[in-house]
Structure 1
């Protein structure tokens, strides 16, 4: 039995992964943005171990999420699933950060640094990362004209940079990043072409399986298989720049491996 924490577990792929892991007998800690959503998801998944409440767009609330998770003990696996999509209008958080960046990119960094180190980490990217800005220019969108699809693509590349950096810095953790495909969730829309049933199989497998093939690190996976990705993500200097940037925004440093 594994103890698994999943961000963004109230609907979509996070909910589906939670449901499958609970069915397999694992202890699942859910995350919800607010109390109302937390109550609803517990009604739907009454066998979940707990639900942790907090808005990932807020640095202070993300701190609180990490603290609440740690109070429940050390996780075997953390699935960083929460994210917002590629049609978001420009808006800033209470910390004066772009909303998409705060949730998709910065929150996984903060939680990784603050949650007790698990045995397995799974991050969520997208095929759209291929269009991401590999030079990490103007992450606050203060100069460029807002482009929601480009901003989303940037964050999905940043998820890969984070996962690859962690896999090097924490060699004792199985750390990977997943593309679930373009599927018919609230984010993906009703006409998305990929297989919804397969969209969470890799996250569930990586977080819970004892198969040798699941105990891997530093991979970008789609449907449990390696998938091609933007080669710039292999650049260690670029990975370190992203990590340093997140540290400068939060004053939180990744613990040594």
Structure 2
């Protein structure tokens, strides 16, 4: 039995990831900030809901305690929770808010769950990043990522991908990778993306289910490892 905890899983990519992993036999603990929406999503999927706000130390600590009391350990942690911020602005308050969720929130959650991950025989962390933070993609005029001005979001995802590689080097006993969902139709983009939400979760699900020898410190999309 693989126990998987997913943040921000009440809708979109997180919800679909939870659905697919449950189909593959994972015991999924669905984390979300909104208790009502999170509980409703968990009921639909057959998952267990745990409230978690990745920007709040007490909330994250309480989530860890809850999982420890019920499941005892975590095999796979999927850091999916994220916000996009405002389009075309370098406002300091907006940048701070986005980084607090997309980067600091991942660190806060990862550090808090490490004791439970270390109880697993093959612990895995998947960070949901984006090619919006890829230097290669955002400098390629043929790519849609190069046409968008989204300073806070793009900076946060660039930081998250680098953070992933640093974590992987620092903790070789845990397989830690970053996933790029691709341009997927979700609430983030008013469902304008050409990919389905299932296609958008291909990389996340692959990283969550691959074998122990697959490697760490990678940046992966649905077609395999890519440069960032």
Identify the TM-score tier after normalising by the shorter chain.
Answer: 0.7 to 0.9
Q: Normalising by structure 1, what TM-score?
A: 0.73
Instruction: Find out whether 1:183 has 2:184 as its counterpart.
Output: yes
Render the CA deviation track for 1:65-94: whole Å, top value 9, x for unaligned: 33333333111111111101143786969x
Q: CA deviation at 1:23?
A: 1.2
Gaps of at least 5 residues in structure 2 are 118-122, 137-148
Residue in 1 aligned with 2:4?
4
Cα distance in 2 between the residues matched to 1:223 and 1:56: 26
Instruction: Provide the alpha-carbon RMSD of the alignment.
Output: 2.5
Structure 1 pair 117/92, CA: closer, same or farther in 2 (3 Å)? farther
Q: CA deviation at 1:226?
A: 0.9
Aligned 8 A contact 2:79 2:106 in 1: yes
Q: Normalising by structure 2, what TM-score?
A: 0.82
Q: Which has more helix, going by share of residues? A: 2
Instruction: For 1:12-161, list aligned pairs within 5 A.
Output: 12-45=12-45, 47-48=46-47, 50-71=48-69, 72-87=71-86, 98-115=96-113, 116=115, 118=117, 119-130=123-134, 149-161=150-162
Gaps of at least 5 residues in structure 1 are 133-147, 230-257
Render the CA deviation track for 1:203-238: whole Å, top value 9, x for unaligned: 1122123385xx310100011511120xxxxxxxxx
Structure 1 pair 117/39, CA: closer, same or farther in 2 (3 Å)? closer
Aligned 8 A contact 1:131 1:154 in 2: no
Cα distance in 2 between the residues matched to 1:92 and 1:70: 35
Aligned 8 A contact 1:32 1:38 in 2: yes
Aligned 8 A contact 1:183 1:189 in 2: no
Aligned residues: 208
